[in-house]
Amino acid sequence: MDKKSIIGLLLIFLIFMGYMFWIKPSDEEIAARRQADSLRWVEQMRADSLAQAEVDQKRVKDSLYALAVNDSSLSDSARQALQVERKVNLGLFSVNESNPNFQVTVSNKVFHVDMQTMGASVQKVILDDYKTFDKKPLEIITPDSNNFNLIFLDANSKDISTKYLPFALFCNDKPVTDSTELVVPENDSLTLSFRAYVAGAQDSNAASNAAADRYMEFRYVFYDDSYEIDFDVNFHNIKESVNELPNLTLVWQNRMNRQEQFDRSQKGRQSSRNKDMERFYTTLYYKNVEDNADCLKDGRDDVAQLTAPLEWVAYKQQFFCAILMSETGFQNAQELKVNTDHNGKPDNYLCDMSSILGYSYDATQPDFSMDMRLYYGPNKYRQLREMDRGIERILPLGWGFFLTQWVSRFAIIPVFNFLENFGWNYGIIIIVLTILLKLVLSPLTYNSYKSGAVMRHLKPEMEVLNKKFPKQEQAMQKQQAMQALYKKAGISPMAGCLPALIQFPILIAMYRFYPASIELRQKDFLWCDDLSSYDSILNLPFNIPLYGDHVSLFCLLMFGMQFFYTIYTMKQQQGQASMPGMKFMMYFMPFMMLFIFNSQSAALNLYYFFNLLLSMLQMFAIRAFMTEDKVRARMAKSELQNKNKPQKKSKFQQRLEEMQRMQEQMQKQQGKR
């Protein structure tokens, strides 16, 4: 950097500092702002406290409403008073207040679903084919999640919240009056209809009358071998009982609990590094009707205020998800939110997710339906893609702009799924996949090593050119001479970079694919009992910053292979010009990778280790094949071929020569002055 540049930067810095000092508020302004902020904070705290008190009071009342019918400790007068107040709050749906509150379980070949007549919502989903890290049943929806609520006004402008509304239950149009377990018949379906009748529907106890023909219905259709559930909300012959305001508000909530591995050696203490990894893959995805899928921030608090119609909303964890889809779209989406507040939460807690979605109500029709679907299941690419809604985009397959997503979707996943058909251990599948990728890239790798070998043998001639054109103004001439030397030797300096550029998207795709691949979850290989998580051969009694509280053997093997690979490649490049500090960076990289990858999945470390091992073997084989005599013979043959060919200048060479002529003219003009 010359003297003028330094002076210019110094002046810019002084101007910037002067401007910052000039716009700095006075002490009086700062004090006024602080006072205003304090008053605003106090007012906000007061408003929040009042709102929370109102919510708590309503929750207590609603709990009493739910217990009023069956609570023998209440006097008749108290029970009657609560029932009267409840009828007022249920509005025109108060005829359902005597419906019993009970639970029904529906099971098929893939999951068990617990549902409750109070609110007619899903209370718990247990996946049959999967377990948690400690071999307990895996719950996607937990019992303490009051997860679904439809809010609207009745014709008397009373707020109706369906989660406090007791429904009458029918299974395949037959009444169900008590807790029971239902099984979906093989190759068939099962329909649960939760109905809330309105006042005046044929008799005073319309909820118990199956012939009643005026009701709101939550209809769920289960299939024998599917994670999907057809879900419809139907308003049947009750348009005069529902307020004509065009909007219905649907609130969908869920608590995301931890499902994956923790460190068992620490007296039950969970490994914070692995918990952070699981939280990183936990977030809320959504898709606009006319746009691609998008998401909130990974593993952090975030909120999105939306006005565009949404096609679906997905609550995604590392390997599982809950998805709510609409056939016509949620026309008035309002708010999507992720909250990671851990105050008073259990150790297995990750975050809370909630969605406030709008639906346009058509009051002119006697029957109105909200056609939706639910999905509770694994994040499997093929299953998500078969729904044909772009939901497979929730899988972290990389970025489309750098080809990593395309590499995952059209190369890695199809080959991986093909290798699964052989029934091999997943560790063997990873090794075979690595070998196949190396074979595909071997021609480029060979050309890269060949160019490197020729470059080493051209080193004396390159040093001669450096001495011949030592001045800065001769850089263009030196570049042309270097290009001529490369052409005479029959190589391109870009040939050594091309394999690295092509392999980089593959490395990134693997980095994203393996930790998110549910196929590897809880699959063992050698000493590792879960390829999707880290392999620990030693649990430390303390935590090392950035490293963790365990020792991963696959990570150590990867580190050792990368360290020896670096030593070998640096020896091959001895004497070649390099950037200052590059040698230190190359030797430092393996140690940095050791810390970064110690808590990564064992599958990822296995892939990188085997990839480096194959690279070392390729280097040894090519170096043994490309002796100095063979390199010289190739150079002589290439030089002879170039002499016999008509010399055509490329457009790049023509531009270089034009730039050189312009530079020489400018130097001559400056010399004359």
Report the greatest alpha carbon distance in the chain. Answer: 114
Distance CA 410, CA 465 (A): 47
Whole-number percent of the chain with pLDDT over 90: 13
pLDDT in tens, 284-338: 999 888 777 888 887 678 888 888 888 999 999 888 999 999 888 888 778 888 8
| Residues 108/226, Cβ–Cβ less than 8 Å | yes
Same domain, residue pair 298 and 421: no
Q: Which residues of 61-96 are buried (b: 16+ CB within 10 A; e: fewer)?
A: ebebbbebbeeeebeeeebeebbeebbebbbbbbbb
SS3 478: helix
Residue 639 domain-assigned?
no
pLDDT-based confidence at 586, cuts 50/70/90? Answer: confident
- Position 270 scores a pLDDT of 41
Q: Per mean pLDDT, which of 18-22, 273-277, 514-518, 633-637 is the most reliable? A: 514-518
pLDDT in tens, 141-161: 776 556 788 888 877 777 888
Phi, psi of 636 (to 5 degrees): -65, -40
Place of tokens 């290798």: 419
Report the sign of the C-alpha dihedral through residues 168, 171, 172, 175, in that order: negative
* CA of residue 646 relative to chain centroid, distance: 56
Rounded to an integer, the average pLDDT of 75-88 is 52
CA gyration radius for the chain? 34
Comparing 330 with 26, the larger pLDDT belongs to: 330
pLDDT-based confidence at 236, cuts 50/70/90? Answer: confident
Q: Which amino acid is at 39?
A: L
Place of tokens 């019993």: 100
The answer for residues whose C-beta is within 8 angstroms of residue 252's C-beta and 6 or more apart is 147, 148, 313, 324, 354, 355, 357
The answer for residues whose C-beta is within 8 angstroms of residue 167's C-beta and 6 or more apart is 96, 99, 117, 118, 119, 120, 194, 195, 196, 218
Same domain, residue pair 337 and 462: no
Distance CA 191, CA 565 (A): 61
- Position 29 scores a pLDDT of 64
The CA distances from residue 466 to 223, 451, 479, in Å, are 75, 20, 10
| Residues 337/353, Cβ–Cβ less than 8 Å | yes
Same domain, residue pair 271 and 330: yes
Domain carrying residue 513 = 405-539+549-634
Same domain, residue pair 583 and 449: yes
| Single residue among 312, 338, 363 that ends a domain in this structure | 363
Rounded to an integer, the average pLDDT of 158-172 is 87
Q: Give yes or no for residue 524 having a pLDDT over 60.
A: yes
* Helix, strand, coil percentages in the chain from 3-state DSSP, rounded to 5: 45, 25, 30
Q: Give yes or no for residue 282 having a pLDDT over 80.
A: yes
Same domain, residue pair 331 and 445: no
* Cα 145–Cα 162–Cα 65 angle in degrees, nearest 5: 85
pLDDT-based confidence at 183, cuts 50/70/90? Answer: very high
Report the sign of the C-alpha dihedral through residues 26, 28, 32, 37, in that order: positive
Pairing of strands 103-107, 180-183: parallel
Same domain, residue pair 450 and 334: no
- Position 28 scores a pLDDT of 65
Label residue 457 exposed, middle or buried (CB < 10 Å: 0-12, 13-18, 19+): middle
- Position 289 scores a pLDDT of 80
Cα atoms in the Cβ-side hemisphere of radius 13 Å centred on 89:
20
Element (H, E) at 21: helix 3-22
Comparing 219 with 464, the larger pLDDT belongs to: 219
Q: Give yes or no for residue 71 having a pLDDT over 50.
A: no
Residue 30 domain-assigned?
no
- Position 16 scores a pLDDT of 56
Residue 617 domain-assigned?
yes
The per-residue DSSP string of 552-580 comes to -HHHHHHHHHHHHHHHHHHHHTTTS---T
Mean pLDDT score of the chain: 76
Q: CA torsion 584→585→589→591, rounded to 10°?
A: 40
Residue 46 domain-assigned?
no
Range from 167-176, 428-437, 645-654 carrying the lowest mean pLDDT: 645-654
The CA distances from residue 499 to 318, 402, 566, in Å, are 32, 15, 17
- Position 272 scores a pLDDT of 46
| Residues 323/391, Cβ–Cβ less than 8 Å | yes
Range from 263-267, 536-540, 545-549 carrying the lowest mean pLDDT: 263-267
| Residues 342/309, Cβ–Cβ less than 8 Å | no
* Assigned token pair, 663: 């530079």
Residue 564 domain-assigned?
yes
Same domain, residue pair 253 and 343: yes
Same domain, residue pair 419 and 530: yes
Q: Give the relative orientation of helices 602-625 and 498-516 as an angle to the nearest 10 degrees.
A: 160
- Position 359 scores a pLDDT of 85
Distance CA 593, CA 639 (A): 43
Which is nearest to 514 in space by CA: 449, 590, 611, 421?
611
Q: CA torsion 657→660→665→666, rounded to 10°?
A: 150
pTM above 0.85, yes or no: no
Residue 291 domain-assigned?
yes
Q: Give yes or no for residue 69 having a pLDDT over 50.
A: no
Same domain, residue pair 463 and 557: yes
Same domain, residue pair 355 and 414: no
Q: DSSP H helical segments within 295-412, as ranges?
A: 381-386, 404-407
- Position 204 scores a pLDDT of 40
* Assigned token pair, 212: 């009643």
The per-residue DSSP string of 594-636 comes to HHHHTTS-HHHHHHHHHHHHHHHHHHHHHHHHS-HHHHHHHHH
Q: Which amino acid is at 264?
A: R
Comparing 57 with 453, the larger pLDDT belongs to: 453
- Position 360 scores a pLDDT of 81
Same domain, residue pair 348 and 485: no
Same domain, residue pair 326 and 449: no
Which residues face 107 on adjacent strands? 112, 183
Distance CA 90, CA 235 (A): 16
The CA distances from residue 178 to 48, 99, 205, 212, 460, in Å, are 40, 11, 18, 20, 91
Distance CA 254, CA 313 (A): 12
Residue 103 domain-assigned?
no
Residue 234 domain-assigned?
no
pLDDT in tens, 336-394: 888 887 777 777 788 888 898 888 887 777 788 889 999 999 999 888 988 888 888 88
The per-residue DSSP string of 128-188 comes to EEEE-TTS-EEEEE-TT---EEEEEEBTT--EEEGGGPBPEEEETTEEE-S-EEEEPPTTS
Element (H, E) at 643: helix 628-644
The per-residue DSSP string of 124-135 comes to EEEEEEEE-TTS
Phi, psi of 169 (to 5 degrees): -110, 135
Place of tokens 């949620």: 330
Cα atoms in the Cβ-side hemisphere of radius 13 Å centred on 126:
13
* Assigned token pair, 361: 């109500």
Distance CA 398, CA 416 (A): 17
* Assigned token pair, 258: 């931890």
| Single residue among 332, 363, 394 that ends a domain in this structure | 363
15: DSSP letter: H
Label residue 30 exposed, middle or buried (CB < 10 Å: 0-12, 13-18, 19+): exposed
* Cα 99–Cα 104–Cα 110 angle in degrees, nearest 5: 155
Q: How many domains does the chain have?
A: 2
Q: Give yes or no for residue 35 having a pLDDT over 70.
A: no
| Residues 296/339, Cβ–Cβ less than 8 Å | no
pLDDT-based confidence at 490, cuts 50/70/90? Answer: low
Distance CA 250, CA 332 (A): 10
Distance CA 629, CA 646 (A): 28
Distance CA 649, CA 657 (A): 10
